[in-house]
Amino acid sequence: MRFPSVCHICGAWPSAVFCEACVAQFAQPIARCPTCALPLESGTCFPCYYEPPPVQACLTAVTYGYPWSTCIASFKFQGDVGLSRPIAHLMRHAPWITPALEAADRVIAMPVTPARLRERGFNQAHALAKHLAPHQADALTLRRCDHASHQVGLDRTARLAQVRNTFWIEPSRIAALRGQRIVLLDDVMTTGATLHEAARTLRHAGVAHITAMVFARTHMGLAR
């Protein structure tokens, strides 16, 4: 159980949900590949250079690991929806996040399956989108088929096979997507397989520009 005004990471009191000391220690921006967000001193990583992903940019606030993995688990799997506001606030202050949101026509939350939505009671990506860009948040355009299953522990090849043909566009919304700039939002990016499949679906619908945006990015590579 968490108490008001206590840092979720170090337990400091009185404090914001994430205290300034913990943010300074665990959420410092680092140089990353502009199209897959893996840590990189400069430029674009070799996989993205030789086989560009279906997104023009990929932005993240933190690296997945302690303490953020615990916070995400509380948020997503234990129903601590109240964490969506401080996580979104932290994202807003990461480099390039705010300009990307302001340039977007809409912020599309990565959908969960209907079964997963019933299980959790909420879509964590949409919860973040409502705080990041309340007037652009969109949880109705991109849909996910119910056959999708958990991907924890799968490598990139297995993830790619599992997510193929997973997403579809609400037919009544296809025309409005043509030529738009989209932020595709999720909480965590691991290999990028799921996010890229969603981006390809949006591309086929005529979206002109896609920026992938996540709260946390793992160190797992994007080996083609």
The string of pLDDT tens digits covering residues 149-175 is 555 554 555 555 555 678 999 999 999
Q: What pLDDT score does 15 carry?
A: 86
Q: What is the mean pLDDT of residues 111-116?
A: 91
Q: Are 181 and 103 in contact (CB under 8 A)?
A: yes
Among 25, 45, 3, CA closest to 221: 45
- The residue with tokens 């209907």 is 114
Q: What pLDDT score does 196 carry?
A: 95
The string of pLDDT tens digits covering residues 60-101 is 999 999 999 999 999 999 999 999 999 999 999 999 999 999
Q: What pLDDT score does 2 carry?
A: 57
pTM assigned to the model = 0.89
Q: What is the mean pLDDT of residues 104-125?
A: 94
Q: What pLDDT score does 208 carry?
A: 98
d(CA 133, CA 115): 26
d(CA 7, CA 9): 5
Among 6, 184, 187, 183, CA closest to 84: 187
Q: What is the mean pLDDT of residues 19-42?
A: 94
Q: Are 190 and 218 in contact (CB under 8 A)?
A: yes
CA angle 204, 209, 210 (to 5 degrees): 85
% pLDDT > 90, the chain: 78
Q: What pLDDT score does 14 carry?
A: 87
Q: What is the mean pLDDT of residues 195-209?
A: 96
Q: What is the mean pLDDT of the chain?
A: 90
Q: What pLDDT score does 139 carry?
A: 95
Q: What pLDDT score does 222 carry?
A: 46
Q: What is the mean pLDDT of residues 97-114?
A: 96
Please, which pLDDT band fits residue 219 given cuts at 50, 70 and 90?
Answer: confident
